[in-house]
Amino acid sequence: MFAIELGVQVESNITGFKGIVVSRSEHLNGCNRYWVQPKVGKDGKVPDGLWHDEAELIVKKKSIFARANNDRGGFPNAIK
């Protein structure tokens, strides 16, 4: 079971790394990890995201995205 929803803005309480949760992974040992993607930089480049353990993430802002209601994946249907 995941404690953090996809699409929320989070911050690492260890490194201060900030971004949006775009993926999550459940491991056999019980560790949940989240892929956090930072915002596009001022130079227009997309910085690399990082995996973070669930325990180190603090939810800063709830999701503004409505998840797609299909099995095909892709982009969210809309912004709330």
In a domain, 15, yes or no: yes
Counting the structural domains of the chain, the total is 1
Bridge-based pairing of strands 57-61 and 65-66 is unpaired
Other CB atoms within 10 Å distance of the CB of residue 78: 10
Domain that holds residue 51: 9-79
Residue 54 in domain? yes
Model confidence over 26-78: pLDDT tens digits?
Answer: 999 889 999 999 999 899 999 999 999 999 999 999 887 766 665 555 555 55
In a domain, 68, yes or no: yes
Q: Supply the pLDDT for residue 76.
A: 58
Local confidence band at 1 (pLDDT 50, 70, 90 cut-offs): confident
CATH number of the domain residue 45 falls in? 2.30.30
- The dihedral region occupied by 8, where left means phi > 0, alpha psi between -120 and 50, and beta the remainder, is beta
